Chain A
Amino acid sequence: MSEPGEHNENNQHHIVSPALYAVILAILLCATALTCGMSYIDLGEWHIAPGLTLFWNPVVALAIACTKMMLVVLFFMHVKYSTRLTKLTVACGLFTFIVLIGMTMTDYFTRAWGRW
């Protein structure tokens, strides 16, 4: 803890510049246009194994969305300049979310595999 009487402007003494915010906004808007455009193009699929196919369109769309999310999280929400605790907190949230979806999917994806 700091000495009493010392005031900090914001967390971690770092104020992000408006120029950086503007750059991030520009990237976000471009990414939006990109993801919109990609949805009009059939990107094909990858046949990993019989009965197991990966379609590229949703993968690309989610990848772009995740990138946009990380930009908002790191810069607009200042996580890049935050403590390790904040970064860990964000990671825990994402992890638990993935566990919810992933382990639920262990049921739904494998139902079609039959009894044994």
Chain B
Amino acid sequence: MSDSTATANGAVAEVHHEHPSYQRHHFESVEQQFDTTNFAMWLFLLTEVMFFGGLFTSYLIMRNWYYPAFVEGSHQLSIFWGTANTAVLLCSSFTMAMAVWSAEVRRKGMLLLFLGLTFVLGIGFLGIKGIEWHEKWEKSHVPGLRYSEASFLNPASDKEVYKEYHDKPLAPDMAAKTEQYFFLYFALTGMHALHMVIGVGILIFIMVRAKSGAYTSGHVTFVENFGLYWHFVDIIWIFLYPLLYLISRY
């Protein structure tokens, strides 16, 4: 019957042509490869949106039910570190976008510079997060592991926070709900931090490859797609900041 060179109507598409070494064989052109992997990364980001979506839904419900507990819980978070971290991450998004630009205009030195800055800012973010979490542990605000409601039953006992906010003591059942707030705090920032750690890890890989010129000869796909991931993690934090830190500071 029909032989193995059969095509739809006998017409044959372009004969096998020269292609760059980084073009995979099942793609017809570099442009197709770029478009395809870019689209694939966007779809992956959609899965991440829905993944965090479950946590945001839980947050929304608990905040509506236990608003006073959430307010007083959020007063325990340092507005200074939180805002600093937001600025750090926004700057890291800028440096990442600049890194992609550097790859696009094929300037290896600038690429390494901006990747390095992104890396430093990413580590900085994680460091600040570590400081915050450590403080939570010290003050016994880690749900399930080390939790005490003393700061909420009797806010005056926590001098620094009380000086700023003069919180009223919560009723015992509402004070117990502050543990829900902190669970969501750790779940959201923890899941976010996990994504940051993965991002930083891939960033190291990219920096090593960038040094050997992998991304400054026209093949920017990997850097561009990683940039999408990095910006997405930034966007999650853009929402976590007001939801966790800025509930009500008046």
Contacts and interface: CB of A to CB of B under 8 A. Distances in A.
A and B co-occur in one complex: yes
Interface of A: 1-2, 4-11, 15-18, 21-22, 24-25, 28-29, 32-33, 35-36, 38-42, 57-58, 61-62, 64-65, 68-69, 72-73, 75-77, 83, 85-86, 89-90, 92-94, 96-97, 100-101, 104-105, 108
A91 to B, nearest CB: 10
B101 A29 contact: no
Contacts of A41: 250
B249 A2 contact: no
Interface of B is mostly: helix
Interface residues of B, number: 62
Given A72-B238, A76-B97, A9 B104 contact: yes
B29 A4 contact: yes
B61 A4 contact: no
17 contacts: A1-B28, A4-B29, A7-B30, A8-B31, A17-B101, A21-B101, A25-B90, A35-B241, A39-B248, A65-B242, A72-B231, A73-B235, A76-B94, A77-B228, A86-B42, A101-B53, A105-B60
Q: Which of B93, B234, B242 has the most CB of A within 10 A?
A: B242
A71 B16 CA distance: 42
Interface of B: 14, 17-20, 28-32, 34-35, 38-39, 42-43, 45-46, 49-50, 53-54, 56-57, 60-61, 64, 79, 83, 86-87, 90-91, 93-94, 96-98, 100-101, 104-105, 218, 220, 224, 227-228, 231-232, 234-235, 238-239, 241-243, 245-250
